Structure 1
Amino acid sequence: MAIDQLRALVAAPGLPAAELPRLITALGRCALSDTRHDAVIAVLDRLRTDPRLTEQTRAEIDVTVALLMARTPGDLANSAEAITAAMKRPPAADDDRRLRGIALLAMPYFGTQTIDECRRWQDVICQRIGRLPPGATRTTLLASILQSRHEIGAPGVDEMIRLLPSEVDPADHNHVQQLARAHCNLGDTYAWTGHYERAREFLRSGVAHAVRAAAPYVRDIGDATAVRLDWLAGDWAGLDRRADALGEANPHSLPIVSEMRLVQGWLALAHADWSRAERCFLATRMSDPDSAVAPVAIAATGGMISLRLDRGDIASASALADSGVALLRHKGVWSWAGDLVPQAVQAYLAAGRPDDARALADEFDAALTTLDAPYPAAALAAARAYLVPDRSTFDSAAGRHRALGLPYHAARLAEHAACQPPVDTDALHRLAQEYERMGAAMAAARCRHLARTAGAAIPSRRGRRGYGNRLSPREAEIAHLLARGHTNREIAETLFISRSTVEQHVANTLRKLGTSRRDLLNSAS
């Protein structure tokens, strides 16, 4: 209600000029903690040319609009232009808002600015933070800069984190909100670099502060990172619905929507829903880095490479590896490489480009020497295992991922280990069961198929006397894939069974469910 009232007030033609700066500041603060960005941007845009405004107020509008645009799909380029416009205006006596705008330029997440460009702006902010007393302004700047400093491996990050207050005046909602933002941002950066327990601790406190400050956008940012963490941890129950809910609650938020589509793409890929996986990965704007959140776009490119490799499209996988690696090298933030480099190495090897695969792994290795990033380090071990494929290298890489609490990643690497000659069919059986517990039907079927082709006796999964009108395990898999729109051919490829066997299972499944194929698909959509 407050944000709607403020929008109406600042747009009123009869409002006294003396009231405009105070109300515009209040509207900006409300908008930055809310989820309705587009309506506020429109109001502030109309006010830019209002003759009643001072240059200081115009600069504040520029920065507020830029901060809102940075969250809005398709507006990243305009966001940078707004910041630049604000910096060209005469300096104000109180330039805290301008500094927050500079902090936006210091973030490597948005658009295609390089790490060197970001470092230049970060130096400006860090110098200012060192001279500021404790208070909302210092907490605001720390919230804007800490995650970037950690991800680029800058020195002194822990000392800067200790500048955050443990508690603030609960009546100062702005300060509480900025503390919430700092904690949620730290949770996000630790989630990318593999400090998962630390990430969850900061997210818990950040979301709690956001609730106290009545800042739904900051709360949802924290919840979105928690969704990504649960994907990594293999806690997939209800995850797709949670991702949908967060996306629907924040339709104009690029960071939230793109991250939720990334997680949904990963889930769809694990569930062998290739068409949905592709739609989700593309929805992250991975094909348009100028309007994407960089780590999300890089991770989505890695997911798409895996998709293409699973489908046998090696040429496309190799081309995607080239584009993803080019973006990674341009940005220069190698702490984001964990979800791309192993996939790119696989694509290069499949395409007969071993020199490119080795060069990428070596470059990744060199970059990690200055980073505190357990997940990228484990990803490097995976990349090295693909380059030197034997049971020990894959087992070692799987162990590193398992130690970080990444069961799906560990299982994929353990599968490669089991497939090294002589094939360990017992391990493949165990992995099939592990995949099934996570809901990764395609991977479970693949493990059984690999064990079968290696000559192992495969436990029967057909319906047996006693199932009656209940679905057998195989029929449950069929129902799951039918509900996701798979054709008989795709089901056969996914479960490594013949088309005629699929047709028989489909008929039995639909009969037991008492439904048609179309109705089953419609009920799931």
Structure 2
Amino acid sequence: MAGRLVGRDTQVAALLEALACPPVVAVVDGEPGIGKSALVRHVGGLLVGRTVLTGRCEPLREPLAYEPFLEALSGAPPTPDLSPVTGALRRPLPELAGWLPPALPELGHAELDRHRLFRAVLALLDGLGPTVLVLEDLHWADRGTVDLLSVLTARMPDRLALLVTYRAADLPDGSVLAATTRLPPGVRRLRLSLPPLTRGQVAELAGDLAADDLYARTLGVPFAVEEVLRLLADRPGVTEVPGGVRDSVVARLALLGGPARLLVEAAAVLGAPATAGVLAAVARLDPATAVDGLCEAVRRSLLVTVGGDRLTTVDDRYAPRHVLCQQAVYDSLLGPGRVELHRRAVGALPPDAPAQRAYHARRAGLVADWLRFTEAAAEQALASGDAAGMFGQLQEALAGGHADPACRARLGVLLSRAAPHSLAAADVLATMHGLADDPALPRVARGEILLSLGILTRTHADRGGAGVRYLERAATELSGHPGRAAWAMAVLGSTGWLDDRPTDAHLSWLDRAREVAALAGDPVLTLGVEATRRSALTRAGLPEPRGALPTASGQEADLHRIRLATDQAYSSVWLGRHADAARYVAEVRERTEHLHSDFLRGAVDGTELLLDYCAGRWDGLAGRAGDLIARVHDVALIRHEAELVVGLLALARGDLDDATRGLLVPTQSVPNLALAAAGRVRLALGRGDPATGWRIARDVLRHLRDTTAWVWGADLLPAAVEALGPDSGDLIAEYAAGIAGRDAPAAHAALAACRALAGTGDFAEAGELYDRIPRPYDRARVAEAHGRTLGAAGIARLFAAVAGFGDLGATWDVQRCRSLLRALGVRVPTGPGRRGYGPGLSPREREIADLVASGRTSRQIAESLYLSARTVDTHVARVMRKLGVTRRADIATSRQYVPPTH
């Protein structure tokens, strides 16, 4: 039974239905590589009870007479009682001579012999019974084949199904179309035109590979997709054109007329859709000749039409069929020819395309033009909000030492304004460090670069203290320019970084920024400073000013509003204002939909991960965090947030080694640092080591104390109190004073939990406060602590904790609570099911088998499940016996072991 053909279910069904009802003519049309042959082979493999005969035309300079018919009929099975006229086939088909009727004498007249040959073919097809005749690639057919096809379709045998393929764009005339269209009554017709695969269908073929990139390179042409997959299977990561695709494209290019070929080569060098006028200029063709050449190139599927006006086509642009086609043609050009075409492209492209002109000038060796166009392109990108796409070009222009000091200063400032929107930070930070220390740069340019470097060092490198030093230098360098100096002061006023400055110091910078901004008289700057001030107040849990933000318009004003919403979303998570956080996240997503800022999109994704962790929405959260880590790898701040979520989830599952790695992220964001420390303290407590837990907590509490930002300690304080034990009274009092009057529900719930743990508060109150936020994991921890405190009277609360943790999938916490219940003499079921499992694994054995298969040692499993190592070894021995293996390492490869699906 043939397997499924991806993306062709509809076409397979249509062909099977048509071929089941002869006489029928089925036509499959499509561009090169679209999968016509694969489709007919697949359908042929599904046919039962019918003879399938296949012949194909070859792309020969002089096509062979009747080639597809003779190839197909050479495979006919022996058939008795044929018409004597079929004897005329003995000479052209010697393979059938053993069973065909006797040969017929020649008639001595070419036309009569030809007529008898046609009759013989029809008679043989009629005599074979139920038959499917497949004729492929009829665009290469000789004249005789087309004539025989016309006779056959006019006199179709009743039990014959004819299936033909061709490229309609390559048919030399209309004769094949006529032969397969003008059919006599009673003959059914089906015509299929195969489309490219969709992005989803390419993903189905690609499996775990990067389907989006594969689709972008191939535009869903199946042959190209399969060739790339075959190449990647042998050489993972390679980006060159597969040999099969290259050879196919070059062969088709050679068949084009001169003008068409020049236009395809021009399009390959341009590398982006271009108008007919631009292509003609690069190819050096007059308009009339270019039109004819374009028509041929499009008809042959080497160029495709992109966009344009449906009515006039005056705005149509043309590009190679897909990226691999473009690469193959470009690679076929000799070096001097490429350089010349790039040089022509610089002059042919319009003035409003400076980025493209810079690209071609660089490759044509026109250095001055390259720098000039790069600068113009960066200014254009900044004005349109697409700055992230330019930082690579700017870095390249700055790296070669080609720019004079004035040009270097201008490019450096443009880079400093483009870089914050990018996700690739490592290279750009190195470039900007060099610029910031360049004494040849004017003071103002150096100040601009230091300002951006300070922002990037915080947001991308997650080094808050170093960022402060750059920002302070920027404020000094820009002192003669109030607007930019005010913005440096405003950024210095933003809070949440490990620079150990109290909140009042941050607000003082913001007050100075407001005063200096007033001197500049810039409404956009005034908006930005006020937005930053409101963000700082929100993070501190202080009341925000009432009323709307200052009025300003334009791209930069919109960015200030989006940054404010992004900061407020992040702050609201830590403060425990989840409804506000969700609203701000939605606002940022809506506002950034058409904004080219990968950083802001990554930032809101990181915030949403933290929100979903705190709110208990853990399904699929680890996978989303992993995806974000891969996407923002160079942006340390966002990556650290995602790694932190992965570590916390691992801790809850009992993956203690993974948790340790995830919770040691070197973040300098104080809220993130406090959350990571809370997880590490809980890990130490779970291992029975409160002293280590207190040392971890004490170091981070010092930062909360120095920054007076106690509202960021909501996750850490209950764990710290639990680790410190009876001596926690002063810490709780200090925390209470630090959050007094702050709009921080999570902090107040944590204070209630701290007091309850210390014996001076009410666990029920703490649980209710966590429920209001909601923070279900913290709510379950409160129930566990309450039950542990009450001893035998707390059994119901421990069961509530088991349920709460279980709903989240926090298996490590569930096991800890079950251990407490067992210590109280309560038998705790491990799950539903019968008591005896016979040769099958019990739920506990299944759990231990999964952990062994993942590489855990008995000690690690014991820590995860709150069991002794000896008990774990006993379970492992039972698992090995039931699975029929003699070594622990063989559990994972046992045929009876089924890995978990999550």
Question: Shared fold by TM > 0.5?
Answer: yes
Superposed, 1:386-425 pairs within 5 Å as: 386-388=757-759, 393-419=762-788, 420-425=790-795
Alpha-carbon separation, structure 2, partners of 1:237 and 1:520: 28
What are the residue-to-residue correspondences of 1:38-53 with 2, within 5 Å? 38-48=426-436, 53=441
Q: Give the Å deviation of 1:358.
A: 0.6
Alpha-carbon shift at residue 508 of structure 1 (Å): 5.3
Answer yes or no: is the 8 Å Cα contact 2:539–2:568 preserved in 1: no
1:451 is aligned, of 804, 809, 821, to 821
Aligned position for 2:444:
56
1:124 aligns with 2:512: yes
Residue 289 of structure 1: aligned partner: none
Residue 192 of structure 1 aligns to a residue in which SS? helix
Question: In the aligned structure 1, how far is the partner of 2:756 from the partner of 2:414?
Answer: 55
2:671 to 291, 295, 299: 295
Give the aligned partner of residue 730 of structure 2.
359
Q: Pick one of 91, 111, 135 that aligns with 2:498.
A: 111
Q: Secondary structure at the match of 1:486?
A: coil
Partner of 1:149: 537
Query: The residue matched to 2:664 in structure 1 has which SS?
Result: helix
Which of 547, 558, 561 is equivalent to 1:179?
A: 561
Change (3 A) 1:365 1:39: same
Amino acid at match of 2:499: T
Aligned twin of 1:374: 745
Q: Which runs of 5+ in 2 are unaligned?
A: 1-388, 894-898
Tell which deviates more after alignment, 455-464 or 320-329. 455-464
* Partner Cα separation in structure 1 for residue 416 and residue 793 of structure 2: 62
1:97 aligns with 2:484: yes
Deviation at 1:437, TM superposition (A): 2.6
CA distance in 2, matches of 1:180, 1:518: 53
Query: Match of 1:378, SS?
Result: helix
1:312 Cα offset (Å): 0.9
Q: Distance in 1 between matches of 2:396 and 2:681?
A: 48
Report the Cα distance in structure 2 between the residues aligned to 1:430 and 1:376, rounded to whole angstroms.
23
Query: Any residues of structure 2 matched to 1:442-521 within 5 Å, and which?
Result: 442-459=812-829, 461=831, 464=834, 472-482=842-852, 485-507=855-877
User: Aligned partners of 2:878 and 2:833: how far apart in 1?
Assistant: 10
Counterpart in 1 of 2:605? 223
Q: Which amino acid aligns with 2:501?
A: T
1:431 to 785, 788, 801: 801
| Residue 65 of structure 1 pairs with residue 441 of structure 2 | no
The 8 Å contact of residues 139 and 182 in structure 1, kept in 2 or not, is answered as no
- 1:223-302 alignment runs, 5 A limit: 223-285=605-667, 292-302=668-678
* CA gap 1:60/1:483 in 2 versus in 1, 3 angstroms: farther
Contact 1:55 1:89 in 2 (8 A): yes
Q: CA deviation at 1:184?
A: 0.7
Q: Are the counterparts in 2 of residues 164 and 179 from structure 1 also a CA contact under 8 Å?
A: no
Distance, in Å, in 2 between the alignment partners of 1:485 and 1:128 is 60
Output the amino acid matched with 1:473: P
The number of residues matched between the two structures is 505
Displacement of 1:368 in angstroms is 1.8
1:74 Cα offset (Å): 7.2
* Higher mean C-alpha deviation, range 65-74 or range 266-275: 65-74
Identity fraction in percent: 29
Give the distance between the partners of 1:80 and 1:184, measured in 2 at CA.
Answer: 21
Between 1 and 2, higher relative CO (CA 8 Å, sep ≥ 6) is seen in: 1
Deviations 1:13-41 (A, max 9, x none): 45466655554443223211111222222
Q: 1:233 to 1:460 in 2, by over 3 A?
A: closer
Over 3 Å counting, the alpha-carbon distance change for 1:136 and 1:8 in structure 2 is farther
Q: 1:29 aligns with which of 397, 417, 421?
A: 417
**Bigger CA drift: 371-380 or 204-213?**
204-213
Q: Aligned AA for 2:810? A: A
Q: Residue 179 and residue 518 in structure 1: after superposition, are their counterparts in 2 closer, same or farther (change >3 A)?
A: farther
Deviations 1:20-74 (A, max 9, x none): 5554443223211111222222333333466764322121111112211223447
In 2, are the aligned partners of 1:176 and 1:210 still within 8 Å (CA)? no
Deviation for aligned residue 1:434: 3.1
How far apart are residue 446 of structure 1 and its match? 2.3
Q: Distance in 2 between matches of 1:101 and 1:256?
A: 22
CA contact 1:461–1:474 (8 Å) conserved in 2:
no
Displacement after TM superposition at 1:279 (Å): 1.8
The code of the aligned residue for 1:298 comes to A
Give the letter for the 1:413 counterpart: V
Question: Which piece of structure 1 moves more, 315-324 or 332-341?
Answer: 315-324
- The answer to which of 224-233 and 101-110 deviates more is 101-110
- Given candidates 294, 304, 328, the residue that maps to 2:704 is 328
Residue 742 of structure 2 aligns to which amino acid in structure 1? L
Q: Which residue in the other structure is 2:396 paired with?
A: 8
Alignment partners' CA distance in 1, 2:431 and 2:514: 33
> Would the alpha carbon gap of residues 52 and 509 (structure 1) be closer, same or farther in structure 2, given more than 3 Å must change?
same
> What is the CA-CA distance between 1:7 and the residue it aligns to?
2.1
Deviation at 1:498, TM superposition (A): 4.8
Q: Which has the higher helix share?
A: 1
Give the C-alpha shift of residue 322 in structure 1. 2.2
Shift of 1:259: 1.8
Q: For 2:786, give the aligned amino acid.
A: A
Superposition deviation, residue 180 in structure 1: 2.0
CA contact (8 A) 2:483 2:522 kept: no
Within 1, Cα distance between the matches of 2:619 and 2:755? Answer: 32
Looking at structure 2, the residues matched to 178 and 518 of structure 1 have their Cα atoms a distance apart, in angstroms, of: 56
Q: CA RMSD in A?
A: 3.3
Deviation of residue 380 (structure 1)? Answer: 0.1
Q: Quick one: which of 525, 543, 549 aligns to 1:163?
A: 549
**Aligned partners of 1:437 and 1:77: how far apart in 2?**
40
1:305-363 deviation per Cα after TM superposition (whole angstroms, max 9, x unaligned): 111111111221222232222221111111111012111111111xxxx34x1111111
Relative distance call for 1:176 and 1:75 in structure 2 (3 A) is same
- Rounded Cα–Cα distance in structure 2 between residues aligned with 1:484 and 1:137: 54
2: distance between equivalents of 1:226 and 1:64? Answer: 26
Residue 540 (structure 2) pairs with residue 138 (structure 1): no
Runs (5+) with no aligned partner, structure 1: 286-291
Partners of 1:90 and 1:450 in 2: CA distance: 62
Worse-matched range after superposition: 463-472 or 322-331: 463-472
Q: TM-score, normalised by structure 1?
A: 0.85
Q: Is the 8 A contact 2:486 2:517 kept in 1?
A: no
Q: CA deviation at 1:227?
A: 0.4
Per-residue CA distance 1:239-260 (angstroms, 9 max, x = gap): 2222222223223323212222
